[in-house]
């Protein structure tokens, strides 16, 4: 699902959990829907707080939108 519009999210609560090979899952709650984004990169530092999605996408080059509920 490429061509993912960043501007759709102004601010979102972001939760992530570490997995093997530094895989991180980001759950974004927006308009009563959860969107799951998995990021693959060696080192990404994201604090558990409200951030703009643009700030996170600037820290990673490979973005895979896995699931849209």
For residue 62, the model assigns a pLDDT of 47
Better-predicted residue by pLDDT, 41 or 28: 28
Question: Is the pTM above the cut of 0.75?
Answer: no
3-class SS letters over the chain? CCCCCCCCCCCEEEEEEECHHHEEEEEEEECCEEEEEEEECCCCCCCCCEECHHHHHCCCCCEEEEEEC
Q: Is the pLDDT of residue 32 over 50?
A: yes
Q: Is the pLDDT of residue 31 over 60?
A: yes
Average pLDDT value for residue range 34-43: 54
């Amino acid at each position: 699902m490429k061509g993912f519009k960043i501007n759709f999210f102004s601010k979102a609560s972001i939760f992530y959990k570490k997995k093997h090979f530094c895989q991180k899952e980001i759950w974004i709650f927006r308009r009563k829907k959860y969107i799951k984004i998995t990021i693959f990169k060696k080192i990404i530092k994201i604090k558990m707080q409200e951030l703009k999605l643009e700030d996170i996408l600037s820290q990673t080059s490979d973005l895979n939108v896995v699931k849209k509920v």
